[in-house]
C-alpha cells in the first residue's frame, strides 16, 4: 500500500496545503475541487469528477467545510458511495458531526470500504509545513495503510478509537480554541483601551495562568498587524461551536461555556468579518468598544 494511488477531494485552505505536502513528498495526487484551477495550483493532477477520483485512487482524502457537504459528496447523485470499491479507504480530514461520520462509516462498510475520520489541528501554518496533529478514528489496518500519506502532512498522529472518535476529539479541541481566541481578543482590546503595552501584557499572560494557544501563537503577530490570514474563518468557527453543542447534547453534557464564543464569532460575522480569518474577531470586539485596533495601523 506504500504505492497506493491517492485522491483528494476538497482543495481549499487546508486540503490544498495538505495536497502540496503529499506531492512534495513524492506521492502523486489526483485532485478534485469546485475550483477548476485548484488542482494545478497545489501540484495535483486534476480530476473532472468524484467518479474519476474513485476510479483512479486507492486512498481518498476529504477536506470539506461541513457535514452537509460531506454527505452530499458521499451520498449524492454520482457521490462516493455510487462508485466506491471494496478495500478502498476514505480518510475524512474535515471538521464534521461525529454522529454523521459514524453513519457514513457504516454505509462504506456495507460496500466493503473503510472510512477513517482524521481530525486535524494546527491551522494553515502547520498544514503548509506538514506538521499537523491528527486525531484518528477507524479500522486499525486501514489506519496503518494511511501512515505513508500521513507522514507527509502530520508531525503527530493519535489513534482515538473507532469511527467517529477522531471527529469527536476534534470538536472538543476546536471548542477550546474558540473559547481561548474569543476570550483573549476581549482581554487584548481591554488592555489596549487601558493604555497597556500589549507586548508586555502578552509577556505577563504567557508567564502566568492565562497562557493559551492564542496568547502564545496568535496575538504576538496580531498586535503588530499580522492577522495570519488564510486559516479558519469566523463563519466556520461558529459552525464548529454549533457542532460542539450538538455533540454535548447527544452526550447529555451541559454546554455552559458555549455562549461566549457563539456571541463573539456571531458578532464578527454580523460586522462583515465572517469570511475572514477568525482572528479578526478581535476587530469586531474592538469595533463595538470604541473603534479599537490593537495595532496603530487602521484597516
Catalytic residue positions?
170
Compute the distance between CA of residue 212 and CA of residue 208 in angstroms, rounded to an integer. Answer: 10
Cα separation, 254 vs 53, in Å, equals 41
- The answer to whether the CB of 99 falls within 8 A of the CB of 67 is no
Kindly give the pairing relationship between strand 59-62 and strand 89-92.
parallel
The closest alpha carbon to 70, from 117, 109, 37, 28, belongs to 117
Task: Give the whole-angstrom CA distance, residue 198 versus residue 258.
Answer: 27
Cell of 38: 485548484
List Cβ neighbours of 222 (8 Å cut-off, separation of 6 or more).
188, 228, 279, 282, 294, 295
Kindly list the strands in the beta sheet with 89-92, ordered across the sheet, starting from the edge strand earlier in the chain: 45-46, 29-32, 6-9, 59-62, 89-92, 114-121, 132-137, 154-161
Q: What's the rounded Cα separation, in Å, for the pair 66 and 59?
A: 21
Amino acid at each position: 500500500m506504500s504505492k497506493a494511488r491517492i485522491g483528494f477531494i476538497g482543495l481549499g485552505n487546508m486540503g490544498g496545503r495538505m495536497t502540496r505536502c503529499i506531492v512534495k513528498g513524492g506521492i502523486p495526487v489526483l485532485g478534485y475541487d469546485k475550483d477548476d484551477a485548484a488542482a494545478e495550483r497545489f501540484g495535483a493532477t486534476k480530476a473532472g469528477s468524484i467518479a474519476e477520483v474513485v476510479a483512479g485512487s486507492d486512498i481518498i482524502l476529504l477536506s470539506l467545510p461541513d457535514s452537509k457537504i460531506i454527505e452530499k459528496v458521499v451520498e449524492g447523485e454520482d457521490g462516493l458511495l455510487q462508485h466506491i470499491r471494496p478495500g478502498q479507504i476514505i480518510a475524512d480530514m474535515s471538521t464534521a458531526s461525529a454522529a454523521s461520520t459514524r453513519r457514513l462509516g457504516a454505509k462504506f462498510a456495507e460496500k466493503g470500504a473503510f472510512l477513517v475520520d482524521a481530525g486535524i489541528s494546527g491551522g494553515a501554518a502547520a498544514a503548509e509545513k506538514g506538521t499537523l496533529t491528527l486525531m484518528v478514528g477507524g479500522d486499525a489496518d486501514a489506519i496503518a495503510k494511511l501512515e505513508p500519506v500521513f507522514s507527509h502532512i502530520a508531525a503527530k498522529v493519535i489513534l482515538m478509537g473507532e469511527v467517529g472518535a477522531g471527529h469527536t476529539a476534534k470538536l472538543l479541541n476546536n471548542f477550546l480554541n474558540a473559547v481561548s481566541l474569543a476570550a483573549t481578543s476581549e482581554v487584548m482590546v481591554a488592555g489596549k483601551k487601558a493604555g497597556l503595552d500589549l507586548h508586555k501584557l502578552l509577556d505577563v499572560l504567557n508567564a502566568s495562568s492565562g497562557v493559551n494557544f492564542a496568547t502564545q501563537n496568535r496575538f504576538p503577530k496580531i498586535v503588530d498587524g499580522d492577522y495570519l490570514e488564510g486559516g479558519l474563518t469566523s463563519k466556520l468557527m461558529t459552525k464548529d461551536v454549533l457542532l460542539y453543542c450538538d455533540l454535548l447534547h447527544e452526550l447529555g453534557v451541559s454546554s455552559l461555556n458555549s455562549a461566549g464564543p457563539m456571541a463573539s464569532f456571531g458578532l464578527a460575522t454580523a460586522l462583515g468579518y465572517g469570511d475572514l480569518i477568525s482572528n479578526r474577531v478581535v476587530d469586531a470586539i474592538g469595533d463595538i468598544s470604541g473603534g479599537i485596533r490593537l495595532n496603530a495601523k487602521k484597516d
